[in-house]
Amino acid sequence: MRNAVAMQDIIIEKPYQFVPPHRGNWLPWSILKLGLVKRYLRKAEGVVSVRLHGIDHLKESKRRGHGILLAPNHCRYADPLVMSYVAEEAQTLFYAMASWHLFEQSRFQRWAISTMGAFSVYREGLDRQSLDLAVEILSGTERPLVVFPEGTVFRTNDRLQPLLDGVAFMARTAAKRRSKEGDGKVVIHPVAIKYVFHGDLEKAVDPTLDALEKRLTWLKLKEAPLLPRIHRMMKAMLSLKEIEYLGSSQTGTFEERQQRLIDHLLSPLEAEWLGKSFPENGLIPRIKSLRMKIVPELATGEITESERERRWIQLSQIYLAQQIASYPVDYLVSPTTDTRILETIERLEEDLTDRANVHGPLEAIIEIDEAIEVPTERVPRGEEDPVMKQLRERLQSMLDRLSTEANSISIS
């Protein structure tokens, strides 16, 4: 059992200070050689083995002297740690961008992640130091840079979330700098991470489901099938929030009800902070725009206590909107897979209790795709960046292929 990341852990109520990475090699290599990361993965994340594909693509980019950006999907807290297997196999340490809140959880965590090459990025505002360092890294050949383009963890391993455009901006800026200096290219390698469960599914998840049903004061249905139990809990959680915010449980499809509640939570906040509502935008851009307006004055302490409390309520509503959207309506359509069921139960537990059991044993499969060369030209305003389009399509294609590694389950 370990703590999940709650909203209060993500929003840090103090002025941002950039945290640079440790730039030495001896200490991070020693940590890897001693197997400390692997030991932690096994104990805390249930990851007992890792399988690598496509490592030669990364080695070839290193051999050619390219500036390298590794862009993995982000579906578990273990993702940055399993990338250490790639580092060992490719014989290169990495730098990585990591949300500032991760450095503020404890002194040990701050030391550990910076020692392994991570540096902070402030998601609630423009972080010039972080951006400049990322461009500097990509402009050179010291180490590849790891950036998770989804921006945050989503427990939907088979579904890629919308990617943040900042990834291409950093890469294009570095490519332009390298071009001026006549010093080679910048490339992006899509990296697909897929987790596969190797255990007894019902034995693993039944105690967790029992505890969650008991928390809702439900009696366990004798011999109730697994998927109906999960669907019943998802509907109950949505109904509880509809009653809280809309006054009653709503009608319509599950997806319609989700979107209705999300818009009810976000649209008034967008009208207040942004001048109008943006329901046509994706959820993550909507959340990011709101947090960039609401959070900065919380950090500086330049508001009254009543205003501070009001903003925390608004942030909790934004966090709830993200939770609601984390349950794709067709993710558990039968036949589904054991890993999708695991993800959903862990997400339910996390949302209900702020804690989540880790169910193992898990195998991580990591596939590194061929390099995407980053051009130096700007993309015309209003057009989709072709680099991001290619990155998204390649990542989803790899995830689709790797999804067949999981055990298919048909439960009535």
Q: Domain check: are 250 and 167 in the same one?
A: no
pLDDT at residue 6 tops 60: no
Looking at 192-282, list the stretches that DSSP marks H as alpha helix, in order from N- to C-terminal side. Answer: 201-215, 226-246, 254-274
Q: Domain check: are 100 and 177 in the same one?
A: yes
Q: Domain check: are 191 and 207 in the same one?
A: no
Q: How confident is the model at residue 169 (pLDDT cuts 50, 70, 90)?
A: very high
Look at the chain and report how many structural domains it folds into. 2
pLDDT at 89: 97
Q: How confident is the model at residue 222 (pLDDT cuts 50, 70, 90)?
A: low
Domain carrying residue 225: 202-356
pLDDT at residue 4 tops 50: no
Q: Domain check: are 309 and 329 in the same one?
A: yes
Distance CA 386, CA 187 (A): 14
Q: Domain check: are 324 and 243 in the same one?
A: yes
Phi-psi region of 173 (alpha: psi -120 to 50; beta: other; left: phi over 0): alpha
pLDDT digits (tens, 9 = 90+) for 85-113: 999 999 999 999 999 999 999 999 999 99
Give a yes or no: residue 6 inside a domain.
Answer: no
pLDDT at 47: 97
Q: Rounded to the nearest 10 degrees, how much is the dihedral formed by the CA atoms of 259, 123, 98, 161?
A: 20
Q: Which residues contact 240 (CB under 8 A, 6 or more apart)?
A: none
Structure tokens at 17: 């200070």
Given CA atoms 371, 376, 377, 383 in this order, what sign does their dihedral have?
A: positive
Distance CA 149, CA 161 (A): 9
Q: Are 172 and 295 in contact (CB under 8 A)?
A: no
Give a yes or no: residue 380 inside a domain.
Answer: yes
> Is 49 in a helix, a strand, or coil?
strand
- pTM (two decimals): 0.92
Which of 356, 371, 390 marks a domain boundary? 356
Q: Domain check: are 51 and 128 in the same one?
A: yes
Q: Domain check: are 250 and 285 in the same one?
A: yes
